[in-house]
Structure 1
């Protein structure tokens, strides 16, 4: 099992803070008892982050209450950044247009206030941002600092237009306008590369974030379907971490949102060696997983396997048609 501190908050239960241990290839992130972890002074070369796992519904107030509780829990662990999943503020049944707002509207401003009052950075993705016309929204990943200021926004590039084998059909492009910018932003937990959900399947985006935009931490908020999550979620996250030598923080929607929509769950934090260092005890509970971004580990992995020096431009190789 991966070593991690997790906070589990199922409805009507007492907050639990167990720790699990293992020996990853390069460095262990936690040791000792829970009290020792909570009271210890973090090394100057590391910083704590958290990934949320939750079940959003078609109720803005209820979802905000859950997010506020998780933000308080994350701040109590010393986390400097809390990542929420796609559709964190609202998860309906094809009615995203109805609730879409501008980023200076009351919903997003409420989360900016939450970040300021909790003294924690928030990764909010994706948000139903009002689109270019009355028939489209943007699926937007918003990063808010601990003073409540929006530091960066990324509009999801890859649309989920898929017939899931054994599942349902989806056509996100029918109501969502695709973005066209690759976005990275500096933060107290390193340089962040922003993505949303289906973007996970496109390694070239993550390669750009690492090698052209200098990302150290990739943020992957998602609402993966139960079918695709079971088959591909973990392996894709670990692959993106390994091939970019970045931490990956993957906040996840989980469980049934309504009669038609169900998400896989399993919020994870993966280190640059591909080791899972943050994970809740199960993939269906509401709670946060906490781990430490160790900058010396990033440097060590990149120095020992310098793929940034070994990469060749795509036109380096001659191609042939067979």
Structure 2
């Protein structure tokens, strides 16, 4: 027995307790040491066999569990783990194909300095759309007159025909056809802030005019929405003199809300922003959850009115507001304010893309021009805000608006 213990002990590091026992056995008679060894063996058998087995990776299980667990933390039981770790944080939360599951979608807002060249503007839009698609955006928003800001005296000649929606390609308008191909190629819905539509005439003179028309194209390239700007802009100050009515005829009706990844979309353009009854009708009669105001605001009016009006439209209608804008000095010498904004239904500005900060600036930095930025949109926020403040129940007037003369 002593020989067996000696062999095992020689292969196992001696613990402090074992060293103490060996020293205590010195000076004993052979008979006393044998008795002590037999008693000690019984107590240490489990420890020795366990260490021996671990050292040589024996498959033999220990005779009994250790008296105390090792100091290392034990593995957590399965019930301590999340039932489904993937649903705790979805890495694909902003993918446009996962929007319905996460109640979130990512949109892209383009801020342009459009030129007098349709080809150049469409190349810019193509690049920005590709960037939006590669960033998993579901929709791209363009500003007013995104495809062409024509030189003075050429507006009517550059206008193109636009069919009523829903319409599918091919389109007679080369510009619309190109935009359709861009949308389809990048699997994007595109809000074409506006382009000039041919076929209008002046009611008094029968001279040719244009409509300033906003379009929505879906991710298959089909035209699904169209709105002709109702309120035509004019300004006559020492700094700025403009009259949109010299080339353009106003529309006479609102568009129905357009189904988009962002929800039902209410269409308006630039100067329409100043007329609250229009946005009220879009919100209540047309059931819009997002209002758009693609614009080419002048610097003078932008500095004074732009942000406060957009935030007001968002708060009073409990809607998302997306306002893609022109920025910088254009080929015809006109300057646009910039500051494309995205505002949530609480009136909070989630995106401001920069632009002019004073009337004295001759131009703005190129970093503000022909760029695209992204915003994650909480699709459920409109419902939550409207449930908190029940504005619908407080309205005491007929919301239908007669826009005809």
- TM-score with structure 1 length normalisation? 0.82
**1:56 is matched with which residue?**
114
**2:281 is matched with which residue?**
208
Cα root mean square deviation, aligned: 2.2
State the secondary structure of the residue aligned to 2:326. Answer: strand
Higher fraction of helix:
2
After superposition, the C-alpha distances for 1:57-88 in whole angstroms (9 at most, x for unaligned) are 10011101110111011111211110100110
Contact residue 93 and residue 261 of structure 1 kept, 8 A: no
Instruction: Tell me by how many angstroms 1:125 deviates.
Output: 2.0
Matched, 1:173 2:245: yes
Matched, 1:287 2:371: yes
Instruction: Tell me by how many angstroms 1:280 deviates.
Output: 2.7
**2:31 is matched with which residue?**
none
Contact residue 131 and residue 177 of structure 1 kept, 8 A: no
Unaligned runs of 5+ in 1: 1-34, 316-322
- Pick from 228, 236, 259 the counterpart of residue 155 of structure 1: 228
Instruction: Tell me by how many angstroms 1:162 deviates.
Output: 2.1
Structure with bigger gyration radius:
2
Higher relative contact order (CA 8 A, sep 6+): 1
Instruction: Tell me by how many angstroms 1:281 deviates.
Output: 5.6
**1:80 is matched with which residue?**
138
Instruction: Tell me by how many angstroms 1:36 deviates.
Output: 9.4
**1:122 is matched with which residue?**
190
Cα distance in 1, alignment partners of residues 333 and 107 from structure 2: 32
**2:157 is matched with which residue?**
98
* Alpha-carbon spacing, 1:39–1:190, altered in 2? closer, same or farther (3 Å): closer
* Alpha-carbon spacing, 1:144–1:314, altered in 2? closer, same or farther (3 Å): closer
**1:108 is matched with which residue?**
176
Matched, 1:261 2:334: yes
* Alpha-carbon spacing, 1:230–1:208, altered in 2? closer, same or farther (3 Å): same
Contact residue 156 and residue 199 of structure 1 kept, 8 A: yes
**2:13 is matched with which residue?**
none
- Pick from 116, 129, 136 the counterpart of residue 209 of structure 2: 136
Matched, 1:65 2:137: no
**Would you say how many aligned residue pairs link Structure 1 and Structure 2?**
281
1:193-272 matched pairs, under 5 angstroms: 193-272=266-345
Range with bigger deviation, 39-48 or 184-193: 39-48
Instruction: Tell me by how many angstroms 1:314 deviates.
Output: 6.6
Contact residue 193 and residue 294 of structure 2 kept, 8 A: yes
Instruction: Tell me by how many angstroms 1:292 deviates.
Output: 2.2
Instruction: Tell me by how many angstroms 1:131 deviates.
Output: 2.6
Instruction: Tell me by how many angstroms 1:160 deviates.
Output: 0.7
* Alpha-carbon spacing, 1:111–1:304, altered in 2? closer, same or farther (3 Å): same
State the secondary structure of the residue aligned to 2:231. Answer: coil
**1:308 is matched with which residue?**
392
Unaligned runs of 5+ in 2: 1-90, 163-171, 202-206, 357-367, 400-405
* Alpha-carbon spacing, 1:236–1:292, altered in 2? closer, same or farther (3 Å): same
Range with bigger deviation, 69-78 or 55-64: 69-78
Higher fraction of strand:
1
Cα distance in 1, alignment partners of residues 115 and 369 from structure 2: 15
Contact residue 93 and residue 260 of structure 1 kept, 8 A: no
Contact residue 115 and residue 330 of structure 2 kept, 8 A: yes
Cα distance in 1, alignment partners of residues 259 and 283 from structure 2: 13
After superposition, the C-alpha distances for 1:110-140 in whole angstroms (9 at most, x for unaligned) are 1111111111000012111103245200100
Cα distance in 2, alignment partners of residues 310 and 236 from structure 1: 22
- TM-score with structure 2 length normalisation? 0.66
Instruction: Tell me by how many angstroms 1:264 deviates.
Output: 0.4
Contact residue 166 and residue 227 of structure 1 kept, 8 A: no
